[in-house]
Amino acid sequence: MGLLTELKSSISRATSSLFAGSEPKRIGIYGPPNAGKTTLANRIARDWTGDAIGPESHVPHETRRARRKENVEIKRNGKSVTIDVVDTPGVTTKVDYKEFLEHDIEKDDAVRRSREATEGVAEAMHWLREDVDGVIYVLDATEDPFTQVNTMLIGIIESQDLPVLIFANKIDLEEASVQRISNAFPQHETVPLSALEGDNMDEVYDKIAEYFG
Amino acid sequence: MPHQCTGCGHTFADGSKEMLSGCPECGGNKFQFHPEGEPVPENPEETPSTEEPPESPETPDSSVAETVGRATTKVRDFVSTRPDAPKDSPDPNAEWPSETGASSSETENPSTAESDGEIIDADARRKQREADDEDHAQASARSDVVSSNELPESERAGDSDDGDVGGLADVEPESGGRVVSEPSDEDPDLTELREQLNDQFESIKIVEPGQYELNLMELYDREEYIIALQENGRYVIQVPEQWMGDEPGDR
């Protein structure tokens, strides 16, 4: 028994040292609610693994638990980058069940969703502290990027010295302004895209490989 | 001389009520409290700047720390509806409610109007803050400490004669001095304020079932992880492993 345990541990040591150099980085997809984080996560996961990560919805806070897709291998220019994609709940400072009522959700359900969404934000903040190696910060390019939540999250990410890419999503919409986002965060690279339409995904993957490879 | 006018530097004795109707020297109504044994600075203007949060503009564009500091301040501002509320401190030498109002707003900028630190320079921010302080100090002086029915005489006296106010403290030591000098006097208003302040620094505030306010910085800062909220306002938390000793293999 002792011999077996020893053997087992020596094997696991060997395998871990074998893969130590190429351990996939855990990339958190962060941003305010309804920025398109899950749509992006699904796009990335479908493009490279064939599976989706979670359901997308127009209802805010659809993602109320962080979801992870491991070992997403992205191939760029003959090289390959393996990452774990973590789709996180939208971060906000206020959650109110009333906003769910507008989406034809019954009050009881809305209150429950609201509680879960709040737990989700707590979870997202916890992941940010403990468990991510890099961040894709997704913003809806039709919305004003100058918000308290954005400023604070970017500040936290910077304080952690995490590599971060800012994605200006929803460029398929007429009101989208990528410039407004790059002006808001000039210290970071802003990549325009439409996760829904799949616009500019080549650049998206180039940048992911460059930043998180 | 525990009180000092932040305008002209004029100092007042502990318990003095001269300042209740404004500084006799310059008419200023913002005072800094210096506990006994602490030196009173010569230049009153220096006091606020040393109490600035770490976001003070020494390295304007360097830093992350600054960004986060700013962010923290913003969160606190955002959550805080009463920045002039007194701190919950049992220390008898602690600042008095009115002074706390004036000085704590130095560190907790009550302005929520600033939406983006990047485009507001530090000087503008400080001016804005001072302007706000003025308002809060006035408001807190009016509402929290000196109720008008308690101090009608001394107020009138103070207004009528600036030069003679030095004697007033001796004439009426009771009514005026008492109001400001007994912070331990637990009126219900104060207790309520205290509770409010405590609430504001929680990670998650339950406004009512289904309505939550989140203090993101607190959520980020705390080691334990909130995994479930309960209707009664309690959290279920996951305690970090190191608090429980070594649990090999689990992580």
Quote the pLDDT of residue A131.
85
Quote the pLDDT of residue A161.
93
Q: What is the pLDDT of residues B106-154, one digit of tens each?
A: 444 444 444 443 344 445 555 555 555 555 555 554 455 444 455 555 4
Of B64, B67, B220, the CB nearest to A129: B220
Two tokens, residue B237: 């938390």
Q: Which helix (H) or strand (E) holds B226?
A: strand B225-229
Number of domains in chain B: 2
Residue B52 — very low, low, confident or very high, per pLDDT cuts 50/70/90?
Answer: very low
Domain range for B207 is 203-243
- CA-closest candidate to residue A142, choices A171, A185, A183: A171
Chain B: nearest CA to A198, how far in angstroms?
31
For residue B94, is it within any domain? yes
Written as one letter, the residue type at B75 is: V
Quote the pLDDT of residue B75.
44
Domain identity same for B144 and B80: yes
For residue B250, is it within any domain? no
Chain A CB contacts of B64 under 8 Å are 155, 158-159, 161
Quote the pLDDT of residue B22.
79
Does A93 sit within 8 Å of B214, measured CB to CB? Answer: yes
For residue B251, is it within any domain? no
Domain identity same for B173 and B213: no
For residue B65, is it within any domain? yes
Q: What is the pLDDT of residues B77-91, one digit of tens each?
A: 544 444 444 444 344
Domain range for A36 is 26-92+119-212
Quote the pLDDT of residue A9.
60
Quote the pLDDT of residue B80.
44
Of B115, B213, B220, the CB nearest to A128: B220
Q: Which residue has the higher pLDDT, A189 or B218?
A: A189
CATH code at A81? 3.40.50.300
Chain A: nearest CA to B220, how far in angstroms?
5
Does B216 sit within 8 Å of A91, measured CB to CB? Answer: yes
* ipTM of model: 0.82
Chain B CB contacts of A149 under 8 Å are 216
Quote the pLDDT of residue A43.
96
Chain B CB contacts of A159 under 8 Å are 64-65, 67-68
Does B214 sit within 8 Å of A156, measured CB to CB? Answer: no
Q: What is the pLDDT of residues B149-194, one digit of tens each?
A: 555 554 444 444 444 444 444 444 444 444 444 444 455 565 665 5
Domain identity same for B84 and B24: yes
For residue A50, is it within any domain? yes
For residue A2, is it within any domain? no
Domain identity same for B99 and B215: no
Domain identity same for B163 and B219: no
For residue A206, is it within any domain? yes
Yes or no: say if A29 and A88 are a contact pair by the CB < 8 Å rule. yes
Residue ranges of chain B whose CB lies within 8 Å of a chain A CB = 64-65, 67-68, 70-72, 74-75, 78-79, 115-118, 203-204, 209-217, 219-221, 225-229
Chain A CB contacts of B75 under 8 Å are 93, 148, 152
Does B213 sit within 8 Å of A97, measured CB to CB? Answer: no
Does A148 sit within 8 Å of B75, measured CB to CB? Answer: yes
Range with the largest mean pLDDT of A59-63, B196-200, B243-247: A59-63
For residue A150, is it within any domain? yes
Which residue ranges of chain A lie beneath pLDDT 70? Answer: 1-22
Chain B CB contacts of A111 under 8 Å are 209-210
Q: Which helix (H) or strand (E) holds A9?
A: helix A2-19
Number of domains in chain A: 1
Quote the pLDDT of residue A110.
95
Quote the pLDDT of residue B207.
83
Of B67, B78, B211, the CB nearest to A158: B67
Q: Which residues of B19-52 are buried (b: 16+ CB within 10 A; e: fewer)?
A: bbbbbbeeebbbbbbbeeeeeeeeebeebbeeeb
The residue written with tokens 């400023």 in the block is: A151
Q: What is the pLDDT of residues A132-163, one digit of tens each?
A: 999 999 999 999 999 999 999 999 999 999 99
Quote the pLDDT of residue B135.
55
Chain B CB contacts of A114 under 8 Å are 210-212
Size of interface A-B (CB pairs under 8 A): 109
What is the rounded CA–CA span in Å between residue A22 and residue B133? Answer: 54
Residue B228: closest CA among chain A residues belongs to which residue?
A119
Written as one letter, the residue type at A187 is: Q
Of B67, B117, B226, the CB nearest to A119: B226
Return mean pLDDT, chain B: 56
What are the residues facing B226 on neighbouring strands? B237
Chain A: nearest CA to B212, how far in angstroms?
5
For residue A16, is it within any domain? no
Least confident piece of the model among A53-67, A161-175, B4-18, B225-239? B225-239
- CA-closest candidate to residue B96, choices B184, B175, B194: B184
Domain identity same for B180 and B228: no
For residue B35, is it within any domain? yes
Of B116, B214, B228, the CB nearest to A146: B116
